[in-house]
Structure 1
Amino acid sequence: MLTVAGWLTLVVWLGLTFGHGWFWLTDQRLPARSPRDATQPAGWPSVAIVVPARDEAAVLPRTLPTLLAQRYPGAARVILVDDDSSDGTGTLARTLGATPGAVPLTVVTPDALPAGWTGKLWAAARGVAEAGAVDFVLLTDADIAHGPASLETLVAVSDGFDLVSQMAVLRTETAWERLIVPAFVYFFAMLYPFRRVNNPRSRVAAAAGGCVLVRRGALERAGGLAAIRGAVIDDVALARAVSSTGGRTWLGFATTVHSVRPYPRLADLWHMVARTAYTQLRHSPLVLAGTVLGLALVFLAPPALTFAGPSWPALAAWLLMAATFVPIARYYRQWPVLGVLLPVTALLYTLMTLDSARRHFLGRGAGWKGRHYSSTEDSA
């Protein structure tokens, strides 16, 4: 029985490695550009950068100046939506925006949050409305810092795409961040293989919310942000909405877009995952059970069978698992050997997912900065 189970885990990992969209590779990236790049568009479209912000005074000094310093040849402006902050976010943003030569900044506030909307999407919708008739909208989070050519690069490669998104490089400074954050990106890519997202013949659609450039026309055809107003996992929901109306999407790994938000403790990372994990499973106990079983078979069984047997096929599966983690580890400049610890991280994610379901059944639902969403109607 152990031998059969070991061979089963090896077959699973062979299938994932070579038959699941090469999810573990990190080659889907935007090309680097220089001011003298010969592929400059004939005319640069207008862009509004929309930043929903709720109590973000701690990170704005590191992120907002990077948006205000964008080297974009066309018309661009930054719209920061101060979402009922209590820490002076709006005032700080106006101060930062007074820098000479900066991209024009507008700070607005949304009306009271209506029923059925998440706070972030309601704030983003206010920013989109303020933007008016622009060609593109760049939706970016308040904790995201952009390289000086970020906007130019996004727009320059957008020809043929209706939505272009980059997975921001997340912070990996503490021991817990180094253990959990690269694995978080690895698991996300396993759910939504980037190559399949970028394949026009594929039905997989996804985006990373920290950096999403969308054509205004495509957004309107998809019903605007109102079409996904209750989505907690709004980035994937937006990509699906755009794709469902015939729009083409692209998702890749960022090199000059970074998240500065710290998650120094296990408790911080636990909350980050647990607040949306059960939403990702569409609040379904059946899907939850299947997910836990799948995580156990794929990630926990290989080391368990290796030590129980010993099972050489299970050991081969474990080593194959670790090998697929190497590109992500290198992308985050971490030790490749961390892939051997993926079963430990997968166990933590399993517990976080179960805790997410527990929170939902206790009526706490997904929560962020004082708001909780317990609705089962999530477009993601």
Structure 2
Amino acid sequence: MTAPAVSFVVPAKDEAATLPATLASVRDQRTDRDYEVIVVDGDSDDATPAVARRYDATVVSQDEAADGGPDSAARERVGPDIGDARHRGARRAAGDWLAFVDADTAVRPDYLDSMLAFASESDLAAASSRCRVTGPARAKAMEAVINHVFPRLDRPVLPGFNCFVRRDAYFAAGGFPNVPNEDTAFSRELGRERATGYHPDVLVETSGRRIRESGLTGTLYHYLRLDWHRIRSEY
């Protein structure tokens, strides 16, 4: 059996309501390339695993023991978080490229081919793209930071909900660590040695539900607190 060109990795915990739209968007890719979908279930209390299987995704339980990698013991001591879920999905994946997409994010039909062409032609180890954050008007502040600030950093932050990375580069950088703001930590580590960037023409849509639930100030506080803990973890 031919290995897939791309593995979509979707962490999901109690996401039965949002996961269908995500997996439908992945299923509807217009491409001739083979790809697979892996949903990492974080011990959901709802029908998340059943939804994933309905869309022919491979379901990986986050409760399973880590599979012997050099960071397995550390991950088990710290306890599972979303960085751990992404990393376990990556270890199960067979694709040459890993496309990390969150369970409340939808990609357009040209996502796979466009991101693969952009990263390959630009000789990038990883890439993200523009996003549209749905929800209240104040979600546009977060959208603006992602679209206009993150790409201009010396080592661009690649949001975990939309991160397209070459498999060998992912593991060489250690993968998503099991720390707060794991995508910032991973992006900074990957960017030390590898070129990364943003596709200017690809658009994904992701949920602004945190802002809807916590407000803009509460969301800002949440991420600042996570980043403080990331720095204390020496990432």
* TM-score, L = length of structure 2: 0.82
Q: Is the 8 A contact 2:131 2:146 kept in 1?
A: no
Kindly provide the amino acid, as one letter, of the partner of residue 145 in structure 1: A
SS at match of 1:256: strand
Q: Is the 8 A contact 1:167 1:210 kept in 2?
A: no
Kindly provide the amino acid, as one letter, of the partner of residue 61 in structure 1: P
Q: Supply the RMSD in Å over aligned alpha carbons.
A: 2.7
After TM superposition, give the deviation of residue 118 of structure 1 in Å.
4.8
Name 2:10's counterpart in structure 1. Answer: 51
After TM superposition, give the deviation of residue 275 of structure 1 in Å.
1.9
Tell me whether 1:82 sits opposite 2:31 in the alignment. no
Name 1:376's counterpart in structure 2. Answer: 232
Residues 129 and 123 from structure 1, CA distance in 2 versus in 1: closer, same or farther, beyond 3 angstroms?
Answer: same
Name 1:211's counterpart in structure 2. Answer: 162
Task: State the alpha-carbon separation in 2 of the partners of residues 264 and 205 from structure 1.
Answer: 23
Tell me whether 1:236 sits opposite 2:195 in the alignment. no
Instruction: Please give the residue correspondences for 1:1-380 in structure 2 after superposition, counting only pairs within 5 Å.
Output: 46-97=5-56, 105-110=57-62, 111=64, 114-116=76-78, 118-132=80-94, 134-159=95-120, 160-172=123-135, 177-178=136-137, 180-188=138-146, 192=150, 194=151, 196-197=152-153, 203-225=154-176, 228-230=177-179, 232-244=180-192, 246-252=193-199, 255-260=202-207, 262=209, 265=212, 267-280=214-227, 282=228, 376-377=232-233, 379=235
SS at match of 1:235: helix
Post-superposition Cα deviations, 1:126-155, rounded to whole Å, max 9, x if no partner, equal: 2111113x2100011010011111111100
Task: State the alpha-carbon separation in 2 of the partners of residues 54 and 275 from structure 1.
Answer: 19
Post-superposition Cα deviations, 1:102-142, rounded to whole Å, max 9, x if no partner, equal: xxx2112122672235511111122111113x210001101
Post-superposition Cα deviations, 1:153-179, rounded to whole Å, max 9, x if no partner, equal: 10011110001112421004xxxx21x
Task: State the alpha-carbon separation in 2 of the partners of residues 190 and 259 from structure 1.
Answer: 16
Q: Is the 8 A contact 2:131 2:143 kept in 1?
A: no
Equivalenced residue count is 221
Task: State the alpha-carbon separation in 1 of the partners of residues 208 and 142 from structure 2.
Answer: 15
Residues 63 and 269 from structure 1, CA distance in 2 versus in 1: closer, same or farther, beyond 3 angstroms?
Answer: farther
> How many percent of aligned residue pairs carry the same amino acid?
28
Q: Is the 8 A contact 1:144 1:168 kept in 2?
A: no
Task: State the alpha-carbon separation in 2 of the partners of residues 249 and 264 from structure 1.
Answer: 28
Task: State the alpha-carbon separation in 1 of the partners of residues 133 and 204 from structure 2.
Answer: 9
SS at match of 1:224: coil
